[in-house]
Structure 1
């Protein structure tokens, strides 16, 4: 027998991190957290993929799930700038940081850290809830390519940096959301 808990948690102001593996329900949970808000800006970070019907289908499902009154932004590489231009008094949902990380893979480590810190600084200027989805990539096999390893390592580093500033943090696995803020202890 499947258990269902439709309870909506209270969404605090500040940064709310939602992480988890692929196809675990991260985006649905992030959308659920903000579903009762009158106005939400949804920031999609993924680049368009030509000739990829499965990706097109995935994006279609995301669009259909979102309330029609939500605003959509697609900033490409300019995520921090996009966040700074949005009204700080309206909720923001950023889905997901894999697109941000991927677009900056050509940067050296120093440039990457500057991009990530600029992103974090822009997030910290916000007053209302800012829900940010980040993919957990380190649970699977070790990437066979250097670029795959770089992506995995940068995502893990970024997730830990965001967690240092998060008001609330969720891990979504197998369609279940776990509140890490309540359950977990920060690693020193």
Structure 2
């Protein structure tokens, strides 16, 4: 039986670190699925990527998957734990897709997640807790990520919120909302 886990929270909250702890505790072979696109001209971005790489155990394989996430998940074997970091970056990579294409990508993604034989731990940013973005592309990003996280949370066995230096298991503390059928 595969297990789907969602770890969410604000920037720099420790989401990735908590997800890494959960992956180690899985006692499975861990494959880190990096959704970031490296950019040698952006030194700060490269430093963030380096920090993540240095923190991970040496025996973890890494797959760089900025776009074709569903295909990567579909090919995972049962003895694997995939750690996908992060959904916000994946959404950003696909932000130029029109709404219909995006909805199809999300539908395929969610259907794939429910069929995957491996354990999967997703890391996702919470972007909707702040100011409404002043630009349409920012609002599109925030809305798409928010919808995706809500839908994924609805099919995850465990959902964690990492904030303020603490981890909360929302699966134990809260009640799930009904599944949403359409984008609003």
RMSD: 1.5
Corresponding residue SS for 1:68: coil
Aligned to 2:32: 42
TM value normalised by structure 2: 0.91
Q: Is 1:129 matched up with 2:119?
A: yes
Query: 68, 82, 99: which is aligned to 1:109?
Result: 99
Corresponding residue SS for 2:29: coil
Aligned to 2:181: none
Aligned to 1:8: none
Q: Is 1:14 matched up with 2:9?
A: no
Q: Is 1:56 matched up with 2:59?
A: no
Corresponding residue SS for 2:83: strand
Check whether the contact 1:89–1:128 (CA below 8 A) recurs between aligned residues: yes
Check whether the contact 2:4–2:120 (CA below 8 A) recurs between aligned residues: yes
Check whether the contact 2:78–2:119 (CA below 8 A) recurs between aligned residues: no
Q: Is 1:29 matched up with 2:18?
A: yes
CA drift at 1:129 = 2.3
Aligned to 1:7: none
Off by >6 Å, runs of 4+ in structure 1: none
Query: 133, 143, 154: which is aligned to 1:164?
Result: 154
Q: Deviations over 1:34-86 (max 9, x none)?
A: 11434101000011123211111111110011111111001221111111122
Give unmatched runs, 5+ long, in structure 2: 179-184
CA drift at 1:13 = 4.0
TM value normalised by structure 1: 0.89
Check whether the contact 2:5–2:120 (CA below 8 A) recurs between aligned residues: yes
Give unmatched runs, 5+ long, in structure 1: 1-11
How far apart are the structure 2 equivalents of 1:13 and 1:179?
19
How far apart are the structure 2 equivalents of 1:183 and 1:40?
28
Query: 87, 92, 100: which is aligned to 1:97?
Result: 87
